[in-house]
């Protein structure tokens, strides 16, 4: 069972970039339930851009998240911190994946994915880390994919390359920020409920998963709560596998 100190997150400022996507709503709900003040970064590209004008998730604030440059990211984080206070936790949520054989993916798509799924998150983590380091405390958490860690999944080459890069970058950032009280970790998910929601029959999908089922979004959310907690202060530079035993280190 995940353990946090009583009311540890009560009043804590949490920024969840891409919180409307994938397991994001469950992560937002988990922090809100713990009493955190949550700003949800609505990304300006892909599916998230369509959510910019929609109502915030319960208990949170929507803030448009343009990760295209250092200047735009600083403005985004400034607005988030104006809404909820100096951030103690920043979570990056992985967006849905487009699939195609690697030989059929045009050059422009590779460049687009690397820019939006690697360079943008890197710059956001760096700026948030700089601010947290100045306050001698912080938790940086990125949701990735087992594709980025194992590289064995077909048809997701640009995404896998970006997420693999994000995992490696997070280790380097973790090493550099460790003396400041800021930790940096990654959660790698595989075959979660939000990924297979459109499937009428998941029996074939779960055959290769030792626990015999797909992951639940709330399980991903509680993993994020642990890594964001004070109890996780000795955990940094790690990638936590959430794959039901399908992949093991």
CATH of the domain at 29: 3.40.50.720
pTM over 0.95: no
Averaged pLDDT, 159-187:
95
Please tell me what DSSP assigns to residue 104: G
| C-alpha to C-alpha distance for 132 and 167, rounded to whole angstroms | 20
Question: Of 106, 86, 65, 93, which Cα lies nearest the Cα of 194?
Answer: 93
| Residue 170 included in any domain | yes
| Residue 3 included in any domain | no
> Which residues have C-beta within 8 Å of that of residue 114, sequence separation ≥ 6?
158, 161, 162, 165
Catalytic residue among 31, 76, 143, 159: 159
Query: What total number of domains does the chain contain?
Result: 1
Q: Which two tokens mark 120?
A: 């943008």
Centre a 10 Å sphere on the Cβ of residue 57 and count the other Cβ atoms it contains.
20
Domain span at 20: 13-242
pLDDT at 200 over 70: no
- 159 as an active site residue: the answer is yes
| C-alpha to C-alpha distance for 120 and 11, rounded to whole angstroms | 28
| Residue 249 included in any domain | no
Phi, psi dihedral angles at 227 (to 5 degrees): -65, -25
For residue range 18-30, what is the model confidence (pLDDT) as tens digits? Answer: 999 889 999 999 9
What does the pLDDT read at residue 7? Answer: 83
| Residue 63 included in any domain | yes
| Residue 231 included in any domain | yes
| Residue 34 included in any domain | yes
| Residue 7 included in any domain | no
What does the pLDDT read at residue 1? Answer: 43
Among 23-32, 63-72, 99-108, 174-183, the range scoring the smallest mean pLDDT is 99-108
Q: How confident is the model at residue 74 (pLDDT cuts 50, 70, 90)?
A: very high
What does the pLDDT read at residue 240? Answer: 94
| Residue 247 included in any domain | no
């Amino acid at each position: 069972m995940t353990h946090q100190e009583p009311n540890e997150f009560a009043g804590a400022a949490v920024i969840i970039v891409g919180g409307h996507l994938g397991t994001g709503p469950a992560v937002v709900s988990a922090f809100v339930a713990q009493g955190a003040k949550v700003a949800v970064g609505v990304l300006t590209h892909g599916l998230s851009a369509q959510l910019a004008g929609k109502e915030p998730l319960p208990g949170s604030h929507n803030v448009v998240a343009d990760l295209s440059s250092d200047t735009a990211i600083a403005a985004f984080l400034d607005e988030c911190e104006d809404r909820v206070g100096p951030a103690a936790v920043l979570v990056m949520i992985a967006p849905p994946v487009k699939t195609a054989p690697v030989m059929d993916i045009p050059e422009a798509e590779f460049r687009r994915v690397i820019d939006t799924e690697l360079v943008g998150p890197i710059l956001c983590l760096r700026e948030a880390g700089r601010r947290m380091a100045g306050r001698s405390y912080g938790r940086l958490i990125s949701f990735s994919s087992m594709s980025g860690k194992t590289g064995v999944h077909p048809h997701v080459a640009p995404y896998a390359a970006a997420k693999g890069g994000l995992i490696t970058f997070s280790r380097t950032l973790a090493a550099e920020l460790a003396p400041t009280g800021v930790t940096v970790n990654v959660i790698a998910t595989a075959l979660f409920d939000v990924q297979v929601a459109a499937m009428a029959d998941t029996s074939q999908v779960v055959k290769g998963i030792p626990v015999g089922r797909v992951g639940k979004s709330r399980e991903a959310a509680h993993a994020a709560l642990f890594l964001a907690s004070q109890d996780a202060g000795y955990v940094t530079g790690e990638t936590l596998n959430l794959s039901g035993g399908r992949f093991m280190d």
